Structure 1
Amino acid sequence: MPRITAAARRAAWATRLAWASLGWPMLLALAALCFWLGLAGFVNRPLRQELRALQSASASASASASASAAHPGSGAGAEPAPRGDADVVRGFVAFLPPMELWPQQLQSLHALVGQAGVELSRVDYGSHRFEHLPGSHRSVRLTMQAGAKPFRRLLHDLLAAMPNLAIERISMERLPDQPDRLNIRLDASLYYRDSPPGDGR
């Protein structure tokens, strides 16, 4: 028992020593990293899994509809297919804003970056269509310099203002000449649905 107590005290002392050796910029970087890991685990991963499931369900529904059209009399006595997957797909697509909202959300993104006190050095965009859903997503890569606290504020404000935004990846490195600032690259995607024909919004 005394040996266990002594080992526990040595472990606690080593932990306190390691914690005291870390500077506050490193602690801020660790806090930002923990925030991103929680964000990826509890927000982005479920969203991507749901999107893949919806695409798979949509592909299955399309294949079933094609088979029924090719053999109209083959399923006359069969029970109708469950509509749960189709309802989920429609609900997800209806949740997404129309593509026409992209310019407005792009302006909001830049405004939020400015309000957070982040120094934006480069922005890259990309456009991608869904394979089986009536919509698309715009990829955004932001290269910036910021302190850990302003960057955490920016992440919070972006996710609160844009429910259709998903953070894909965050990479950070500390600047050698400015230890209180980080060089950050953020990859995100904004998801949209297609507007119906004749919708002028």
Structure 2
Amino acid sequence: MNTFFKELETQRWDDHRYYHHSRINQSLHLLSALSFLVAYALLFTDPALAALVAWLVSMVSRQAGHFFFEPKGYDEINQATHAYKEAVKVGYNLQRKVVLMLIWAASPLLLVAQPDLFGLMEPHTDWLGLAHNVGWMWLWVGVGGLAFRVAQLWFLKDLRTGLVWAIKIVTDPFHDIMLYHRAPLQLLRGEWMEPGPRGG
């Protein structure tokens, strides 16, 4: 069990030090984390709405921070190239995120061709029904994306690595709030990047 938590700590630290230099990215992760907590609460009463909040607010803000605001050049603080960081990333690196986000964005098109999704859901009759069905579809895209990467990591490394990553992903909102709750204020003070050096 100690090894499990040590690996979780390592995955979290690598994710932070390699992919969260920008205070804008950190602030967007704070927004993402807070909205994920709302989505977690909604899971108990309205899973489809929870998925809409998670994807439209949490995931869009989180990935916008990575794609548009995080530096892609040589990382002087960690002495690492962007290519190296992409290669050693345990979870979804930017290339894998592009694939996941394309699947997410394109998945509602299935409801145009098959409103009942091959008999898996009640066909929508209005815009609210469509949004509800899209929410359910996005919930399963999220669950599928999580399960797919765990299976990949199990095949490429071992099951523990995949399970550690899954626990990291599910608990990231709580951890991100602890890490980045000061980021908006630091940004307002004109601090665009987290200063180095970083210690592990």
Please give the TM-score of this superposition, normalised by the length of structure 2: 0.28
Between Structure 1 and Structure 2, which shows a larger proportion of strand residues? 1
**Larger of the two Rg values belongs to structure:** 1
Larger relative contact order (Cα-Cα within 8 Å, sequence gap ≥ 6): 2
Please give the TM-score of this superposition, normalised by the length of structure 1: 0.28
Between Structure 1 and Structure 2, which shows a larger proportion of helix residues? 2
